Amino acid sequence: MPKISKINLRQLFAKGLKPAQEAFYNMFDSYWHKDELIDISAVKSLQNTLDNKLDLSVQETLLKAFDNVVAQVETDFKGVLSPTDPEPTDNGSYKPSISSELDKPENPDSAVDWGTPYPNAGNLRAKQGYNTMFYKNGASWTKSESKMPGETVSPDFDPITDIKPQGGKQIANYIESIELSNTILNGSTDFTTRFSLVDFEAYYFNNRSFDSDKQVSSIKMHAESAGQVVFAFGSVINKKFVERKTFSFSVALPAGIKTYPIDDILYKGERIALKTPSSGMAWNSKAGKTGIMYETAGYNGDVATNNDFDLAMELEVSDIQRKGYTPIDLFEKLAADVEVSSNVITIDQFAGKFNSINSAINSIKNKTGKFFFRINPGIYNESIDLFSNAVNPGLELSFIGYSKKDVTIVMNKGDYHAAPMQVNINAYFENITFKSTQTEGIADPSSYSVHSDFGTAPALIEFFNCDFINDVQNQHNYGAGSWQGHTLRFRNCKFLKNNTTANGGSLYWHNQVQNGITAQRLEVFNCEIYSKGGASIVLHDANQTNGGNVDPALSEASVLFVGNTFKSDDTDTNASFSRRETVRQPGALVGNIFLDKRSHGNNITELNY
């Protein structure tokens, strides 16, 4: 290891030079290892300097004083004292073990003592939030106390604040009140469930949510002036109400309570909210409040009053006025005889009453009305037949999958009459993947992933956040034929045609062959439509090509495309969009099929108006 001597080091400094860092380090390292002794005479003045700066006698006095104080404290402290302990006999200091706010006066300037009393310490009291010490000197007891630093918590827990301190006791009381609100009170209306307001959002929403899906049949309102009001179903995320679905009603000076049918589902964990009424709308009725309520299926009340409802949920008038809102009351009726409405059906491949989609549908296929199917994760290998000749055409069905990556309906036969889904009645699908393959079955496979056709009554068929996949040769992916009053709607869906059939489309739609069919409609929003072969989308005027008619009055159909991406691997430059027609009417997109004027944002120019 290279070294540098003290002499060389001194010379470098004298010349105003700095030695290299490594050389300087090695110099001190040499002292550490005793390679070169330090000249004591060079630092002998250090002791004199320290002696002149420090008074060693004062230093010693201070250290002794500190030691004496510590010894005194150790000798004086006798231990922790509980209110139930025998009265101590030794003089000294005692730390109270329990403190409280017992008898605390409302006036903070009051001279009245409060806290936990200690009859064994001269009836002194220990206050919660204070550092307290009791002192015994003979028969006399005294205390010293100092308020501990901290903030005073709110008297009531506020579930939407992130500013005010929240106390554990207040939180516990709040949770208890919410748990109580889940109990049927058999007509009692003296229990008020807590309601929350969101300052930065124009919503009133109930702070309580259901622990299972509930079908809400109607909303009843009583207002003194006309206006528009919007209710919303949704969830509270990060103290913000996020709506999933809204219901808008025009209120026109009702003489009494008006009923507005909804017949929709409020899912587990969701809340119902009232959006801010329209400007100038009065919400004052009897007692300065408005009666607004919603009820679940199974309740058949007539005149809505407080006594008709098991649970009363209301906003305190003072809270609303303080936040600048209008006072409202919201009441809710729970069906006492059912936990979950019979209109809500859960499908689970591994547990529960229905482990297939067909078994669940068979349980209601001859009924009428709305039914909601919640589909838990699984690969459901079955063909679902929702054609009107297989189920009651008066049904309105909703199928909600856990997620489209976890819920797949697949069919392996490649059979035209056995697609994973066949539907021509009112139906809604969400978070589901539909897949058609051919690993077994007929020699000439021709199955769609979903087939909607042959309808006999007006219907809306809607898909949201679904995937459609077809691996079968010689066929389109999604195949649809329209009929009178039929609307087919896709939102945020993906279409994948994996086969290379040149004349097929990933989305294929045609109008009705027969004459005189009107109100035929296709709507596609924010979808990705991809085909490995043939066109990504095929629009077909079947009334011309198969029915032989060219008069637009004989067949009315329209299509709407917004924000979609179309792509095909076919080398044909027109492969992304294919028409089938004999004559195109003036202004029409395909034959007698017209493009809605609101169509825009698509990567195919012809599909933008």
What is residue 548's predicted lDDT score, i.e. its pLDDT? 73
Structure token digits, residue 129: 């939030």
Q: How far apart are CA 454 and CA 266, in angstroms?
A: 32
Domain stop point among 147, 172, 205: 147
* Sequence-ordered list of residues with C-beta below 8 angstroms from that of 251, at least 6 positions apart, any chain: 221, 223, 225, 226, 227, 228, 229, 258, 281
Please indicate whether residue 243 or residue 219 has the higher confidence score (pLDDT). 243
What is residue 284's predicted lDDT score, i.e. its pLDDT? 32
Q: Both 243 and 286 in a single domain?
A: yes
Q: Both 419 and 440 in a single domain?
A: yes
pLDDT band at 220 (very low <50, low <70, confident <90, very high): low
Q: How far apart are CA 331 and CA 317, in angstroms?
A: 15
Structure token digits, residue 480: 């649809």
Q: What is the pLDDT of residues 541-551, one digit of tens each?
A: 988 888 777 66
What is residue 379's predicted lDDT score, i.e. its pLDDT? 94
CATH number of the domain enclosing 239: 2.60.120
Residue 152 lies in a domain: no
Q: Both 273 and 234 in a single domain?
A: yes
pLDDT band at 147 (very low <50, low <70, confident <90, very high): confident
Q: Both 464 and 502 in a single domain?
A: no
Q: Average pLDDT of 482-500?
A: 92
Three-state DSSP class for residue 429? strand
Structure token digits, residue 350: 């591994």
What is residue 234's predicted lDDT score, i.e. its pLDDT? 78
Q: Average pLDDT of 386-393?
A: 88
Q: Average pLDDT of 83-94?
A: 91
pLDDT band at 429 (very low <50, low <70, confident <90, very high): very high
pLDDT greater than 90 at residue 467: yes
Residue 414 lies in a domain: yes
Residue 89 lies in a domain: yes
Structure token digits, residue 203: 């919503």
Q: Average pLDDT of 75-96?
A: 89
Residue 41 lies in a domain: yes
What separation, in Å, do the N-terminal and C-terminal C-alpha atoms of the chain show? 84
609, 597 in Cβ contact below 8 A? Answer: yes
Q: Average pLDDT of 291-306?
A: 37
Domain stop point among 104, 129, 147: 147
Q: What percent of the chain has pLDDT over 70?
A: 60
Q: For 39, list phi and psi in degrees, rounded to 5.
A: -75, 110
What is residue 45's predicted lDDT score, i.e. its pLDDT? 60
| Residue ranges making up the domain that contains 378 | 343-468
Q: Both 119 and 189 in a single domain?
A: no
The string of DSSP letters for 182-235 reads TS--TT----EE-EEE-TTSSEEEES---SS-EEEEEEEE--SS-EEEEEEEEE
CB atoms within 10 A of CB 543: 30
pLDDT band at 88 (very low <50, low <70, confident <90, very high): very high
Strands (E), 290-449: 291-296, 311-314, 329-333, 344-347, 369-375, 378-381, 384-386, 395-401, 407-411, 421-423, 426-430, 433-436
Q: 21-35, 181-195, 422-436: which has the minimum mean pLDDT?
A: 181-195
408, 435 in Cβ contact below 8 A? Answer: yes
pLDDT greater than 80 at residue 491: yes
What is residue 314's predicted lDDT score, i.e. its pLDDT? 32
Q: Both 492 and 451 in a single domain?
A: no
What is residue 156's predicted lDDT score, i.e. its pLDDT? 62
Residue 1 lies in a domain: no
Of the candidates 513, 455, 516, the residue with the CA atom closest to the CA atom of residue 488? 455
pLDDT band at 183 (very low <50, low <70, confident <90, very high): very low
Residue 360 lies in a domain: yes
Q: What is the pLDDT of residues 536-589, one digit of tens each?
A: 999 999 888 887 776 666 778 999 999 999 999 886 656 788 888 888 888 889
Domain stop point among 95, 126, 147: 147
pLDDT greater than 60 at residue 249: yes
Q: How far apart are CA 569 and CA 204, in angstroms?
A: 51
Residue 316 lies in a domain: yes
Q: Both 535 and 605 in a single domain?
A: yes
Q: Both 286 and 327 in a single domain?
A: yes
Q: Both 410 and 326 in a single domain?
A: no
Please indicate whether residue 373 or residue 1 has the higher confidence score (pLDDT). 373
Q: 24-28, 266-270, 339-343, 517-521: which has the minimum mean pLDDT?
A: 339-343
CATH number of the domain enclosing 392: 2.160.20.10
What is residue 151's predicted lDDT score, i.e. its pLDDT? 58
The tally of domains found in the chain comes to: 5
Structure token digits, residue 33: 């290892």
131, 148 in Cβ contact below 8 A? Answer: yes
Q: What percent of the chain has pLDDT over 90?
A: 28
Q: 175-179, 236-240, 454-458, 565-569: which has the minimum mean pLDDT?
A: 175-179
pLDDT greater than 90 at residue 422: yes
Q: Both 490 and 592 in a single domain?
A: yes
What average pLDDT does the chain have? 73
Q: Both 49 and 67 in a single domain?
A: no
Q: Average pLDDT of 433-446?
A: 76
Q: Both 185 and 329 in a single domain?
A: yes
Of the candidates 496, 508, 503, the residue with the CA atom closest to the CA atom of residue 466? 496
What is residue 288's predicted lDDT score, i.e. its pLDDT? 33
What is residue 261's predicted lDDT score, i.e. its pLDDT? 72
Please indicate whether residue 446 or residue 34 has the higher confidence score (pLDDT). 446
Residue 171 lies in a domain: no
